[in-house]
């Protein structure tokens, strides 16, 4: 790391001056990103987890609270113990439909106009629609179901936007060593959101125990009982706005991620200052304006970073080596969510079928449903999330995901085919084990991996596409597979096909094993390495050397093909002609003198960033040629297409 220099303050050191002696903006970019990659786990990362996690707590609270609320709505507005099947499905699917829109829209906009500009907007949408949902009412001209569906679609848009934004922002700010644990901790708030929904439901139902204990069925629920239930479901839904409000200010004031500022805005000075701001707890770096303008001028001429465009996006993903990764992340998330949401959003139905949500009166029915959810969440879901956090950076993402798919497939097969043989206790045990391996498995890793394995210019878009594929899977589960459980239903047996539905949910878990084979292992690898950027040259005279290599045709193309001795000789002599050629040139009479013509004759590639020593930079001895043609995939921006 460069020595500290004057010109800064206690909060922000003069980051530009720290690397002022380095003329090449690519090298300055690498050194700055190296600082955030190598940062030890500290309070800056804790703040990041809390700020993004509070919003994710709200997201998941909203998603899973509806499973506890629908039966209360049935008693209040339909005078039944369960919602009509069509209304129940529509309310649960509404959030997923909004998720798809939000994930693609916010994911795309975060790559076009910036992560910071979009972050916080999605939380405002969630807070507003949550409060509106809690204040919804029935009228002669408009059904309560229609009103709830409208606001849950709007809520889903905000929740969907939070997926790519939270994942990508945490990923781009995280250190390489602990990146999986940091992003996994944010996603683990999903378990706490489920726990929060169940505990708020239990507390609220207990507060109105007197009114609910007097009614044994929905038909016997008098005016006092109806009013109590009407208040209970509104409190449960509306509570989600509180943690969202607490996180809103901090989301609106975070700095832009350094990688976006470097690669998309190409503002190397501001990006460096933002790194220091993040590590010291301030919202934004404050570099010198003149130095920032000079840095932007230099970066526009020398920083090698392709711009995102529709043409380049399709060209990039139509290459199998890149497209298979997107297919793997999106396919794995799709197959996961078919089973995960199909099972989890129907916790109350499952608990009722195995006798954990029955009671002599409405108080016992709703309190036992909440307690049953708490048992499942505390025994299976929450431990699964945090075991993932503890092991994802040592075991790796891919092994955990494979293991999770295999174990959940096995548990669903046991439950489905042995439904009538293993008894209620056996079903509950298998259900809890399945919940554990959902979360110590693909439910966590499908959130982590898409934020790591794509280049900066498409990272948020690709994460949004992957997440949207998952929510399409949840819609399929709720609209196509879930309703099959009532096939042949009677008053005494409302879900006769539940065992067959569980058998069907086992199939996507099997298919998820194969899509997992398409994704790379991202453990302990930098984001630049995963994007095929290779720091090739070793330390020499105080500089580590390196370049931004997007022209590599495969992850191995950029690896050193020469021996250690050849590299040392090349660094000493200033150039080497092998598979990769470094060009040394000086200004002379307005022309460049170098080995470019020799390289062309020999048919070898020319890279634009030479291995630089501090002396070479200060003497202005190295002068890079133009970037290789394969790097200039498109000079147009998103808006030009």
* Residue 520, number of CB atoms within 10 A of its CB: 16
Q: What does the alpha-carbon distance between residue 260 and residue 240 come to, in Å, rounded to a whole number?
A: 31
Identify the DSSP state of 420.
T
pLDDT at 368 over 80: yes
* Residue of 519, 329, 351, 521 lying closest to 435 (CA atoms): 351
Task: Kindly give the interhelix angle for 320-344 and 423-439, rounded to the nearest 10 degrees.
Answer: 150
pTM of the model: 0.77
E strand or H helix that includes residue 593 = strand 591-593
The whole-number average pLDDT for the span 556-569 is: 40
Identify the DSSP state of 543.
B
Q: What does the alpha-carbon distance between residue 250 and residue 245 come to, in Å, rounded to a whole number?
A: 10
pLDDT band, very low/low/confident/very high, at 601 (cuts 50, 70, 90): very low
* Residue 559, number of CB atoms within 10 A of its CB: 11
CA distances from 611 to 173, 324, 444, 501, 526 (A): 27, 33, 40, 60, 20
The overall average pLDDT reported for the chain is 77
| Torsion-angle region of 576 (φ positive above 0: left; ψ -120 to 50: alpha; else: beta) | beta
Give per-residue burial for 32-41: e unless 16+ CB within 10 Å, then b.
Answer: bbbbbbebee
Residue 540 has what pLDDT? 37
CATH number of 37-266+305-531: 1.20.1250.20
* Residue of 577, 561, 567, 572 lying closest to 613 (CA atoms): 572
Is the alpha carbon torsion for 213, 214, 216, 220 positive or negative? Answer: negative
E strand or H helix that includes residue 201 = helix 179-207
Q: What does the alpha-carbon distance between residue 264 and residue 203 come to, in Å, rounded to a whole number?
A: 48
Tens of pLDDT, residue by residue over 471-493, are 999 999 989 988 888 887 777 77
Residue 318 has what pLDDT? 92
Tens of pLDDT, residue by residue over 24-79, are 666 767 777 777 788 788 887 888 898 889 888 998 899 888 888 998 999 999 98
By the 8 A CB rule, do 447 and 167 touch?
yes
By the 8 A CB rule, do 171 and 183 touch?
yes
End-to-end CA distance of the chain: 41
Give per-residue burial for 385-404: e unless 16+ CB within 10 Å, then b.
Answer: bbbbbebbbebbbbebbbbb
Q: What does the alpha-carbon distance between residue 332 and residue 509 come to, in Å, rounded to a whole number?
A: 9
Find the range with the poorest average confidence among 271-280, 492-501, 618-627.
618-627
* Residue 573, number of CB atoms within 10 A of its CB: 10
* Residue 285, number of CB atoms within 10 A of its CB: 27
* Residue of 485, 478, 225 lying closest to 365 (CA atoms): 225
By the 8 A CB rule, do 53 and 286 touch?
no
C-alpha gyration radius of the chain:
28
Q: What does the alpha-carbon distance between residue 242 and residue 199 come to, in Å, rounded to a whole number?
A: 15
Torsion angles phi and psi, residue 393, rounded to 5: -90, 0
pLDDT band, very low/low/confident/very high, at 339 (cuts 50, 70, 90): very high
pLDDT band, very low/low/confident/very high, at 517 (cuts 50, 70, 90): very high
* Residue of 178, 197, 125 lying closest to 156 (CA atoms): 125
pLDDT band, very low/low/confident/very high, at 568 (cuts 50, 70, 90): very low
* For the chain, percent of residues with pLDDT exceeding 70: 71
By the 8 A CB rule, do 21 and 157 touch?
no
By the 8 A CB rule, do 295 and 268 touch?
yes
CA distances from 563 to 367, 558, 581 (A): 69, 14, 15
540 beta partners? 543
Q: What does the alpha-carbon distance between residue 630 and residue 608 come to, in Å, rounded to a whole number?
A: 12
Tens of pLDDT, residue by residue over 229-280, are 999 999 999 999 999 898 888 888 777 788 887 777 665 555 455 555 555 5
Residue 607 has what pLDDT? 41
Tens of pLDDT, residue by residue over 388-446, are 999 999 999 999 999 999 999 999 999 999 988 988 888 888 989 999 999 999 999 99
What is the three-class DSSP state of 532?
coil
592 beta partners? 587
Domain ranges of the chain: 37-266+305-531, 267-304
By the 8 A CB rule, do 465 and 104 touch?
yes
Q: What does the alpha-carbon distance between residue 260 and residue 410 come to, in Å, rounded to a whole number?
A: 42
């Amino acid at each position: 790391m460069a020595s500290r220099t004057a010109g800064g303050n206690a909060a922000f050191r003069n980051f530009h001056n720290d690397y002022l002696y380095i003329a090449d903006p690519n090298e300055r970019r690498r050194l700055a990103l190296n600082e955030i990659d190598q940062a030890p786990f500290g309070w800056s990362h804790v703040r990041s987890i809390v700020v993004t996690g509070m919003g994710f707590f709200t997201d998941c609270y909203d998603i899973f609270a509806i499973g506890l609320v629908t039966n209360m709505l049935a008693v209040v507005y339909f005078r039944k113990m369960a919602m009509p099947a069509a209304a129940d499905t529509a309310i649960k699917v509404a959030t997923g439909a909004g998720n798809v829109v939000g994930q693609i829209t916010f994911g795309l906009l975060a790559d076009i106009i910036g992560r910071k500009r979009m972050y916080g907007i999605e939380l405002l949408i969630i807070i507003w629609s949550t409060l509106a949902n809690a204040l919804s009412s029935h009228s002669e001209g408009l059904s309560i179901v229609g009103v709830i569906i409208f606001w849950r679609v709007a809520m889903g848009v905000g929740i969907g936007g939070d997926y790519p934004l939270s994942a990508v922002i945490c990923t781009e700010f995280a250190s390489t060593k602990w990146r999986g644990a940091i992003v996994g901790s944010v996603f683990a708030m999903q378990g706490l959101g489920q726990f929060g929904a169940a505990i708020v439901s239990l507390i609220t139902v207990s507060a109105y125990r007197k009114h609910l204990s007097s009614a044994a069925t929905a038909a016997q629920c008098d005016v006092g009982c109806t009013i109590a239930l009407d208040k209970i479901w509104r409190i449960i839904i509306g509570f989600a706005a509180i943690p969202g409000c607490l996180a809103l200010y901090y989301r609106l004031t975070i700095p832009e991620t350094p990688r976006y500022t470097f690669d998309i805005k190409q503002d190397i000075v501001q990006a460096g200052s933002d790194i220091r701001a993040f590590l010291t707890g301030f919202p934004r770096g404050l570099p010198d304006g003149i130095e920032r303008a000079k840095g932007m001028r230099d970066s526009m001429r020398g920083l090698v970073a392709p711009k995102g465009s529709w043409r380049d996006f399709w060209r990039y993903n139509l290459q199998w080596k890149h497209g298979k990764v997107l297919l793997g992340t999106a396919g794995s998330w799709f197959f996961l969510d078919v089973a995960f949401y199909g099972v989890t959003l129907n916790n109350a139905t499952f608990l009722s079928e195995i006798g954990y949500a029955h009671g002599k009166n409405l108080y016992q029915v709703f309190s036992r449903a909440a307690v049953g959810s708490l048992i499942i969440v505390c025994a299976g879901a929450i431990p699964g999330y945090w075991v993932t956090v503890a092991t994802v950076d040592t075991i790796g993402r891919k092994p955990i995901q494979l293991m999770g798919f295999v174990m959940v497939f096995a548990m669903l097969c046991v439950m489905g085919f042995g439904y009538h043989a293993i008894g209620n206790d056996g079903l509950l045990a298998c259900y809890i084990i399945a919940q554990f391996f959902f979360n110590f498995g693909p439910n966590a890793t499908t959130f982590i991996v898409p934020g790591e394995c794509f280049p900066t210019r498409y990272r948020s878009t690709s994460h949004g596409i992957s997440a949207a594929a998952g929510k399409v899977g949840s819609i399929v589960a709720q609209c196509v597979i879930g309703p099959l459980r009532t096939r042949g239903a009677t008053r005494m047996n409302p879900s006769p096909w539940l065992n067959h539905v569980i058998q069907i949910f086992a199939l996507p878990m099997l298919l998820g094993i194969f899509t997992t084979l398409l994704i790379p292992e991202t453990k302990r690898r930098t984001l630049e390495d995963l994007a095929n950027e290779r720091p090739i040259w070793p330390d020499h005279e105080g500089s580590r050397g390196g370049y931004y290599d997007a022209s590599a045709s495969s992850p191995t193309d950029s690896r050193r093909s020469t021996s250690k001795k050849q590299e040392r000789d090349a660094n000493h002599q200033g150039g080497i002609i092998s598979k990769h050629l470094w060009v040394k040139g000086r200004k002379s009479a307005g022309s460049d003198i170098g080995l470019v013509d020799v390289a062309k004759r020999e048919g070898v590639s020319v890279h634009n960033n030479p291995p630089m020593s501090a002396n070479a930079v200060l003497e202005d001895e190295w002068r890079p040629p133009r970037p290789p043609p394969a790097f200039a995939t498109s000079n147009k921006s998103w808006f030009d297409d």
